[in-house]
Each structure stands twice: as structure tokens, then as C-alpha cells.
Amino acid sequence: MFSNANLNFLLAEAEAAPTTTEHGAWFEYISDYALRTSPEYGGQISKIERYETWARRELPQALPSQWRDLGVDRVVTTHSGEFWAVQNKGYAAEAESSYSHYTNFIAQARSIPGVTKLLWITSGAGLNRTATDHNRSSGSQVVVHNRSWLAAGINYPATIAEVRAYLEEGKSLPADGPYQLRIHQEVAVANVLAGLDTNPAVQFISACGTGKTITAHALHEALGSKLTSFFAPTLGLLRQTIRAWTQQSAGRLTVIAVCSDEDMLATEDHLIANEQEFGRHLIRNPDELASTIASALQETTTDADGTGRPVPVVVFSTYHSSEILVNAQHQFGAPTYDLAVADEAHNLAGCGFRGELVKFKEDGKKRLIATKRVYTTATPKVTSSDMAARHEIDSLDENSPVFGPQAHVLTFGEAIQLAIISPYRMSIIVVPDELMAVINQNVSIDGMSSQYLSAAYAIDQSIKQGQRKFISYHSRVAQAKAFANFMGKRNPLGDSGVEQVGYSETVWGNLSAFKRESAIAAFKASDAPALLTNSRCLNEGIDIPELDTVVFADPKAQVVDIVQSASRVCDSLKWPRGDG
């Protein structure tokens, strides 16, 4: 059975190898498999070979000593005839790769004729600080992928032997192919395109779980956009979108990622702690962005009939980094975007938000220049006309002068009625008097406030009703951890008739991406009732698998936050590849 959770078992098997040499070799199989099945690279790869095998064939005049692996483990040959050099490091989760190993890899890779890309793949944390600083100052000449990248969205076999069989015996790899649009997505594309015929900006409103990310990609393709910009509120959502768009494009897409240093330092709701967790080079200044776009627009690909055509370019950015895109245009001559997509656009409602420059306004300010704009959200923020005028608030209402008309609207109720997303119900659970007496004492129980006993009781009663997968939302990380610990105990409320929570873990905003994704994978794989507690983490846009119940352990006042969080349990009904 293929599963994202199998990565941990494979790495443990490799670490238990009888010798260091076998450990390294087994990790290289895992790395090869990840490259082959990843949406970023899989469609471009013709073959992956040990350096010695490649060198004996491609460098027949070289000395035998030059055929040995002296710093390059693998050479990838692409369908277009390019060569990529790969270094693999099978390390413990927190281990960092040294500067000397990094510089040796560069020297060896640069000595290989025709190498166009340098990849560093590690099951550790990535490069150490010195190597990271050098790599960043040199324009990220080495693309670093750490354990977080290995864990992100790739489904693995259960054993090293199975991995080797798929790689060596020519078995068909279970790479995720593109989804075919469903009827409601085709309707959305048609409506938004019709809206863009007469408006420079439109709103695309569709319930959580209806596939807005894939639909937005279809819009990009339907418009024939050569240069698109895509904005999201967090790096975690941005990485998720990049993988989805790359998968939909079957690799025929040039991705440029933008992120200011401020984004990296913000930890409240950003799920990516550093560039190595993001998995690709991040552009941080407007002049580099302008030159990168100019080079990318010159790239072409060859169709099966030999016809050359340009490769579409998409610039992905957080809203906080949108000023980099604007300055690249106004100060360094970057071209006009054919299409700008603003995801989770409810973040743009109001005033003073850092994404202000993404909005379509003719007010004399230097703003993003785009021919067409699409603002997409499941939860539009609408303000009364009096309040909007009085406080200069931009509202996502029906015919907004800023965001344009609502070209397509699919509500939660409509999506449920059409069986696009799962129906939901609100559970009202009465807490017994004896438990309320303890709750009202407001004491600490194993580091957890007694106020959370009502949430614990609600989960117990939901398990009795057949619910299995729970996410709870907390205002503080410490309380989220304490609640997970409390619920992980056998029958914490002393009710022998309740099946215990078999898996309980906590994730939060600045937890490493690998640890967070491992927790989610284990949560998904648990056969017993499972609880994932979180603080400032699993909110808008982030995909959470197979949920039954959402628990608000602390009060929430923001309607948008409540809907975004609650919608995790209304996720789309599972679609097979080719029909989703």
C-alpha cells in the first residue's frame, strides 16, 4: 500500500542497514523514488543513474579515477537532454550538512560537462548556517531539499525492497497525474472567463473543498497566460499551490517563488520556517525578480510534432511580499502580468493590509500591473456601504469597484447539495452537572485548564457516535499540547464505555514543516480514534485529510476564521485521478 506515512518506515529501515555503505545506498533509492514521483521533477526525468555508470558512458576518455563518486552521487538525464547533478545525504531528522561537503559537491558538479542543475537531497534538516548563507549569497546555485520536501505529498511503498523493485524492474511508478475538471469547475471557468471579457477584475467565490486551486490553474491555461502572478497569505499554502499547479501542468511550467525576509521571520501563521523547508530558491529583491522573469520568458519547450512554444511562467508570492513584484515592475521594468490570482482574497478586504498593492485601483499609487485579476475565496468579507465609505474599507460585495463583480458563486449549501463536499452537522452536547462542577473550579489538570474538560467530553461523546478523526483549535500552543497529552491518556474522563484516543499530537505555526507533515500523516494513518490539536496552524486553505469533527476548544469570534476552520471537516469528497 502506498502512503505518505511510509517515508518514516523507509528512513528507519535505511538507518538500520548493516553497514554505512548500505545505509547510504538505501537512502539513494528513496531519493531516486522521490525525484521520479515528485510533481516538480518527475515529468522531466528520462533516467537517474549512479555517477560512475553515467561517467563510464558519457566520459569514455576520462581516467578511471575520474569515474568514481567523489562528491556527486547521481546524474539525472532529462527528456530534453540536460544533466542534473545530485548529492544525497541520509541523515537524522535534525542533522545538518557541512559547508565542506557542500563546497566539494559544487566543485565536482561544475566539473561535469553539460550539468545545468545541482540538487542536494537530505533526510536531515538541510545545510548548516555557513553553507546556507553561502548558497543564498550565490543565488542558490544548489537547490536544497530536506526531509520536509521528501514528506510533502509523495506516496511511498512500505519497504526498501519495494522501492528498488519500482526503480530497477521498470514497474510503473504511482506518480500523481493531473486532475480532469469536474462539471462544477468547468462551469466556474466558463463564468469567470465570461466575467473577464468585460471586466479587468472579477471575484470567484466557491466553498472550501470545491477545488479552487485547480480551477484557478485551469483559468491560467484557458487564458493562455504567458506570465501569471499568484498570491496567498502564507508560505505553507503557497508551497501547496505550487505543487498542485506543477502537477496540473505536467511539469510544463516555470515557477518563480518570491518571499521577503520578513515572511521568514513571521511565525504566527506561516508554516514554513526556512528556504530549505520550502524546497526551492526564494527571490527576495525586485531586481533579481525582474531579471529572472526576463530569462524565464525566453525558455521554450518542444511539442511532440517538433513545434517549439514558450513555457508559461508563474510568479508565486505571499501577500506580504507583493511589494517586491510591484517594485520589480515600476523600478526594474518587469513586464505586465497577463493574469493575477489573489487566493484567500478575504484577506484583502478592509484597509492597511500588506497586500494592498495587489488590488485594482486607479488612485495614482504604484500598484501591481496586470491585464486581468481574479480574487478567489470561500468566505467573502462584506461591509455595509456606509461603513465602507466612512472608513475607506474595500468590501467583497456583489459589484465591488475594487474587486470587480462576483463572476461565479458556489455556496457551501449548493456544494453540499451537489455532492461536491461532505454534508455537515452541528453537535450540541450537554455536559453533566458533576463535570461542570469541576470545570467551574477553573483549576489546572496536568497543565491543562479544567475549562477544556467540556471539549474532552464532547470528543468522548462523538467517539460513541462513530466519529474517528478530530482536530481541535486552541488560542495557545501550551494549552494545545496539554490537551493532546490529556486526551492521549487511557479513558481520561473515566468512562470505560468510550474507546480511547489512540493517537494525539500537536502542531503549531512555527513547528518544522517535516514534523508537522509527519504528524498529519500519522493522524491520517491511525486506525484508532485520532486527535490533532493545533494553534495558529491548520486554518485557511491547508489540506487536512479525512476529518470527521472540528472542535473549537477556545472561543472564536471572527466569522471567517470559524468558517475556514469548520470547513476542514467538509473537505471535498475524494476524487480519483483524472476526475477531480
| pLDDT tens string 437-491 | 888 887 777 778 888 888 888 898 888 888 889 999 898 899 899 999 988 876 6
What pLDDT, in 10s, does the model give residues 492-538? 666 655 578 889 999 987 777 777 777 887 888 888 999 999 887 77
- Per-residue pLDDT at 526: 87
The pLDDT-based confidence of 265 (bands split at 50, 70, 90) is: very low
Three-state DSSP state, 37 = helix
Q: 400 pLDDT exceeds 90?
A: no
- pLDDT score, position 269: 41
Helix or strand or coil: residue 568? helix
**Distance between CA 210 and CA 320 in Å, rounded?**
26
pLDDT of 564 above 90: no
Does residue 27 surpass a pLDDT of 90?
Answer: yes
Q: Rounded to an integer, what distance in angstroms lies between the CA atom of residue 51 and that of residue 30?
A: 16
- Within 10 angstroms of residue 173's Cβ, the number of other Cβ atoms is 11
Best CATH choice for the domain 6-168 from the list 3.30.230.10, 2.60.40.420, 3.40.1350.10, 3.30.429.10: 3.40.1350.10
Give rounded-to-5 percent helix, strand, coil for the chain: 40, 20, 40
CATH number of this structure's domain 183-417:
3.40.50.300
Sign of CA dihedral 270, 239, 359, 394: negative
Q: Does position 275 have pLDDT exceeding 80, yes or no? A: no
Residues 6+ away with beta carbon under 8 Å from 50: 69, 73, 74
Give the phi and the psi of residue 436 in degrees, each rounded to 5. -60, -30
Percent of the chain scoring above 70 in pLDDT:
81
User: Which H or E element spans position 477?
Assistant: helix 477-487
Average pLDDT for 245-254: 84
CATH 3.30.950.10 fits 433-570, yes or no: no
Q: Are 482 and 553 in contact (CB under 8 A)?
A: no
**What string of DSSP letters covers 290-359?**
HHHHHHHTT-EEE-TTS-EEEPPEEEEEEGGGHHHHHHHHHHH-PPPEEEEEESSGGGGSBSS-GGGGGS
Long-range contact set of residues 126-129: C-beta below 8 Å, sequence gap at least 24: 126/96, 126/97, 126/274, 126/276, 126/277, 127/96, 127/97, 127/99, 127/102, 127/276, 128/96, 128/97, 128/98, 128/99, 129/96
89-132 pLDDT, tens per residue?
999 988 999 999 999 999 999 988 889 999 999 999 899 999 98
pLDDT at 389: 46
Q: In DSSP terms, which residues pair with 258 in a beta bridge?
A: 283, 317
Q: Is 74 left (phi over 0), alpha (psi -120 to 50) or beta?
A: beta
Q: How far is 302 from 409, CA to CA, in rounded Å?
A: 38
pTM above 0.85, yes or no: no
Residue 216 has pLDDT above 90, yes or no: yes
Of residues 256 and 577, the one with the higher pLDDT is 256
pLDDT surpasses 80 at 169: no
Q: What are phi and psi of 351, to 5 degrees?
A: -150, 155
Q: What is the pLDDT of residue 566?
A: 58
What is the model's pLDDT at position 1?
A: 61
Distance CA 134, CA 99 (A): 9
Cα(335)–Cα(370) distance, rounded to whole angstroms? 9
Rounded CA separation 267/37 (Å)? 31
User: What pLDDT is stored for residue 437 in this prediction?
Assistant: 86
Q: How confident is the model at residue 352 (pLDDT cuts 50, 70, 90)?
A: low
Domains 6-168 and 183-417 share a fold: no
Residues 232-253, mean pLDDT to the nearest whole number:
85
pLDDT in tens, 536-548: 777 655 666 677 8
Cell matching residue 80: 530534453
Cβ-Cβ contacts under 8 Å for 507 (sequence gap 6 or more): 515, 516, 519, 520, 532, 533, 534, 537, 538
* 348's grid cell: 484583502
Count CB atoms within 10 A of the CB of residue 288: 17
- Model pLDDT, residue 297: 94
Give 308-329 pLDDT, tens digit per residue: 788 999 999 999 999 999 999 9
Mean pLDDT of the chain: 83
- What per-residue confidence (pLDDT) applies to 83? 94
Q: Are residues 246 and 255 in contact, defined by beta-carbon separation less than 8 angstroms?
A: yes
List the chain domain ranges: 6-168, 183-417, 433-570
Cα separation, 91 vs 15, in Å, equals 8
Do the Cβ atoms of 342 and 318 come closer than 8 Å? no
Report the pLDDT value the prediction gives residue 268, as an integer from 0 to 100: 40
Residue 330 has pLDDT above 50, yes or no: yes
* Interatomic CA distance for residues 45 and 250, integer angstroms: 12
Q: What confidence score (pLDDT) does residue 364 get?
A: 82
Question: Taking residues 339-367, what's their average pLDDT?
Answer: 84
Could you give the dihedral angle defined by the CA atoms of residues 435, 438, 443 and 449, in that order, rounded to the nearest 10 degrees?
10
